[in-house]
Amino acid sequence: MSQERSVDNDWTGPAAVEAAGGVVLRGSADTPEVLVVHRVRYDDWSLPKGKLDPGEAHEVAAVREVEEETGVRAEVQDEISQVVYPVVDGWKRVRWFVMEHRDGDPSDRAADREVDVARWVDARQAPQLLTYPADVELLTEALAHRSTGGDR
């Protein structure tokens, strides 16, 4: 999908689809890496995310989706943003969390019909790989959040 999405970060209304995602980081402040996924359906590079299960909290969904899509277990540090964009049934709201790698390696994960590749990328090179400007903005915010210890 090569079209740019409409983004409304101040959206407070109901969304047809609720989702959560993680900007998963590892490494030192000097050499951070970010976890990215290649989605088969869209042929894009993005950050791991997915829909909430019924009754599931956003933070729990973010942890689950990261592990399902990448094989990596990560710990939520803080919520950093929400992105809202139009979908067929109305709006999709994704709440994003900065997360730290705890365990697991994406190279151990078998490809599936949703994500065929998950890998660590040098965070300084990721903007050239990520398909969507909104993902680049999320990465920038996550790195700033991490470097200030959450004081924004």
| Structural domains of the chain ordered from first start | 23-147 (3.90.79.10)
* Predicted model pTM: 0.87
Residue 43 region, left (φ>0) first, then alpha (ψ -120 to 50), else beta?
Answer: left
Judge contact between 78 and 152, C-beta under 8 A. Answer: no
pLDDT tens column, 1-38: 222 334 555 556 566 899 999 999 999 999 999 999 99
Alpha helix segments (H runs only) across 34-119: 58-70
Q: Which amino acid, residue 55?
A: G
Place 131 in a pLDDT band, splitting at 50, 70 and 90. very high
> For residue 88, what pLDDT band results from cuts at 50, 70 and 90?
confident
Instruction: Give pLDDT, residue 5.
Output: 36
Going 47 to 99 to 19 to 116, the CA torsion angle's sign is positive
